[in-house]
Amino acid sequence: MFHELKALVSSLITSPRALKPQTERQIAHYLQEYGGDEAGFLTRAASLLEEHDLEILLAPEFTPELNELAAVSDLLARWRLAESDIQKLQAELRNSDAKAVLQLADGSEVRVPLHEVMISRFVKLLRLEHAPDFKIASALQDALPSDLYQAALALMRQRGFTPERQAWFAGFVAFLARRHPLNVTILATAAQFIVGQTTTETTALLAAANDLARSAKSSADYARNGRVYWSPDVAEHHQFRGQGQVDTALVNQRLEELDALEKIAAGLSALAEVKLRP
């Protein structure tokens, strides 16, 4: 199992990664000091920067996305790692001479050595040791198609998921799946919702979900209006791009979140009714 995990994580961490806008802006500042171009700087970054500066620079690229977290879910549903396995995984990845592939805005690619801080961050944030109990995982397997099953297991490894919240999430998702088809947005919204709650009591959760749905509706309405900001950084902080223009992608995202919260609230309402039945 360890060798299967190592091969999988190695494949994930060496897959091409597009530079995030914040990384490009940081590189532009460094180029004022070191000169050259983006590609040249990236190949020399490990020798030019302190480790903590290198980690900050490339943190957005080496923070696993949900699909990467999900890629190891099936294996973790069959096998539990010890702390020594994680340490061994990091050590063997460091000694593998693997290269990271970073994609620039112009479509070109730069191959750079995988520095220890990149490996450590990526493996740590995969949260391999936080997989849900085997029984909890198996409870979802029959309720969801394979891709959503793996995503659900990945979401349950996120920070804030206690065993109690994992058990609630698995049971609630299985309940929702019997009512209507699910998607990743609904799963991710349900995961974010339960992590933010202090109880798993149905009545309290229903009240919280209704409050969030009302807030999400206001957010969706707000996103339908263009906003003018004095700088692109401020605009991005408020999740808007451009000046005075409606961000259609953001509007659609907000509407998807609203739809997910409404389905979660409806599911909690139905669950409350079931629990009240004699």
175 lies in the same domain as 114: no
191 lies in the same domain as 75: no
Could you tell me which residues are beta bridge partners of residue 18? Answer: 103
138 lies in the same domain as 267: yes
Spatial contact of 152 and 144, defined as CB atoms under 8 Å apart: yes
Q: Looking at residue 242, what DSSP letter applies?
A: S
pTM: 0.85
Q: Which residue has the tokens 């171009």?
A: 37
Q: Nearest-CA neighbor of 192 among 140, 155, 163?
A: 155
pLDDT score, position 230: 46
pLDDT score, position 68: 97
The domain boundary, picked from 100, 130, 160, lies at: 130
Q: Nearest-CA neighbor of 267 among 165, 158, 194?
A: 194
170 lies in the same domain as 261: yes
236 lies in the same domain as 256: yes
Residue 58 burial (10 A CB sphere; 0-12, 13-18, 19+): buried
- Pairing between β-strand 109-113 and β-strand 99-103 as defined by DSSP bridges: antiparallel
259 lies in the same domain as 140: yes
Q: What is the pLDDT along the chain (278 residues), one digit of tens a residue?
A: 999 999 999 999 999 999 999 999 999 999 999 998 999 999 999 999 999 999 999 999 999 999 999 999 999 998 988 999 999 999 999 998 889 999 999 999 999 989 999 999 999 999 999 999 999 998 899 899 999 999 999 999 999 999 999 999 999 999 999 999 999 999 999 999 999 999 999 999 999 999 999 998 888 777 776 554 445 555 555 555 555 565 677 778 888 899 999 999 999 999 988 766 55
Provide the domain limits for residue 62: 2-130
pLDDT score, position 167: 95
pLDDT score, position 237: 58
Give me the count of residues in the chain: 278
75 lies in the same domain as 139: no
- What does each C-alpha distance from 173 to 123, 204, 244 come to in angstroms? 27, 18, 39
pLDDT score, position 250: 72
pLDDT score, position 255: 86
138 lies in the same domain as 220: yes
The residues near 134 (Cβ < 8 Å, ≥ 6 apart) are 77
pLDDT score, position 247: 66
The domain boundary, picked from 71, 106, 130, lies at: 130
The domain boundary, picked from 86, 113, 130, lies at: 130
The number of domains in the chain is: 2
110 lies in the same domain as 194: no
CA distance 26 to 52: 14
228 lies in the same domain as 253: yes
